[in-house]
Amino acid sequence: MKALDYHEATKHSWARIRAEPHYLDFENMPSPFKIYSDLDRRPLPKRRSGTNMPALSAVADPGAPAVGERVPSLEDLAQLLSAVGITKRRLYPGGEVLYRGASCTGALYHVEVYIVCGDLEGLPAGVHQFQPDDDGAGAARAIRWALEDAGIVRVAGPCGAFEIRGDKLAVETAQGWLEFDSVYPALGSVVRSGLARSCGADVSEGDCILVGDHMETSVPGLFAAGDVVIGLDQISHAMGQAGVAATTIRNHLAEERPLRR
Ligand SMILES: Cc1cc2nc3c(=O)[nH]c(=O)nc-3n(C[C@H](O)[C@H](O)[C@H](O)COP(=O)(O)OP(=O)(O)OC[C@H]3O[C@@H](n4cnc5c(N)ncnc54)[C@H](O)[C@@H]3O)c2cc1C
């Protein structure tokens, strides 16, 4: 099916919309924006004009392969964020409706976008909230700097040695030794599912073993539980999964030969 045919077949019809008695209660609707009112705003550059390239052609165009490191500029970021910004404002009896680039659902749950970035020219590294409501007539957009305002200091890696100093844990960082009340490591992991894979078990893209509701893999009689299975990586979860697997194994065995207790 062509994209346009799909659009025509699934879009709202004028007649259906007019016949719908539902209306928006402007007085009582939730705010369309999440506002961190105590945080400063940083304006973004104005959105650049479009390329006149049809959207489907842009999607189909593989583009030139990226070579080397490319750090996006603030203009690039603004352009990217315009995809979730306000594209149109329209006055209706009772109030104004703001149309967003990305759909914000009929139930008025709007898209919230956060940018997690390293240092960019004009924007320090950190977590920023994109605030589309400053986009009056295509004017500057605003970004807020959350960690800085909360007084949280960021130190770039790598980490080196560590030692206990009294009731503190000291860690050697690129900016010298720093002391902490507690340290929480955020680690990556390598899933060791090779054995199950070599038995023919299906695994996910991230190499986790795929199992059914009763923890049985795609190989009948082969079960898996814990971190090696896709899902929450917690001890209680692993134990629960092991319990389900053990019960199912017992039931399978009982089908072959009654197990009496
Ligand atoms: C830093 C950190 C903090 C965590 N904190 C918590 C917490 O506070 N609370 C919580 O509930 N969970 C926590 N977890 C998660 C929790 O540790 C795991 O969810 C849990 O240990 C998973 O149990 P498991 O038996 O599936 O895997 P594991 O505990 O990883 O056991 C797998 C075992 O298999 C062995 N093994 C691997 N390959 C082979 C091989 N080829 N041959 C033989 N042996 C092999 C490994 O050495 C390991 O001993 C934490 C994890 C980490 C890394």
pLDDT tens digit sequence for 140-194: 345 555 566 667 777 777 888 999 999 999 999 888 999 999 998 877 778 999 9
244: nearest Cα among 208, 204, 211, 218: 211
Of 132 and 223, more confident? 223
Q: How far apart are CA 29 and CA 24, in angstroms?
A: 8
CA-wise closest residue to 47 among 139, 142, 143: 139
Q: For atom 20 of ligand 1, which residue has the closest CA?
A: 235
Ligand 1, atom 9: nearest CA belongs to which residue? 234
Is the pTM here over 0.85, yes or no?
no
- Please name the residue that has the structure tokens 């609707």: 29
- C-alpha torsion sign, points 146, 138, 52, 48: negative
pLDDT class for 130, splitting at 50, 70, 90? confident
Contact 104, 110 (CB under 8 A): yes
194 ligand 1 Cβ < 6 A: no
What is d(CA 180, CA 161) in angstroms, rounded to the nearest whole number? 14
Band (48; pLDDT cuts 50, 70, 90): low
Residue-wise pLDDT for 1-20, tens only, equals 788 899 888 888 888 878 87
Q: What is the pLDDT of residues 183-218, one digit of tens each?
A: 988 777 789 999 999 999 999 988 999 999 999 999
Residue with CA nearest ligand 1 atom 53: 187
pLDDT confidence of residue 200: 97
If one residue of 183, 234, 237 were mutated to test the ligand 1 pocket, choosing by the most ligand atoms within 8 A of its CB, it would be 234
Cβ of residue 233 lying under 6 Å from some atom of ligand 1: yes
Q: What pLDDT score was predicted for residue 103?
A: 66
* C-alpha 189 to ligand 1 mean position (Å): 10
pLDDT one-digit tens code per residue, 76-115: 888 888 878 887 888 888 888 888 877 665 557 677 888 8
Domains and CATH numbers, the chain: 15-57+67-149 (no CATH), 155-186 (no CATH), 194-256 (3.50.50.60)
CB 41 within 8 A of CB 145: no
| 207 Cβ neighbours under 8 A, 6+ residues apart | 191, 193, 197
Choosing from 227, 230, 241 the residue with most ligand 1 atoms within 8 A of its CB, the one to mutate for a pocket test is 227
Closest ligand 1 atom to Cα of 232: 19
CA 227 – ligand 1 centroid, Å: 7
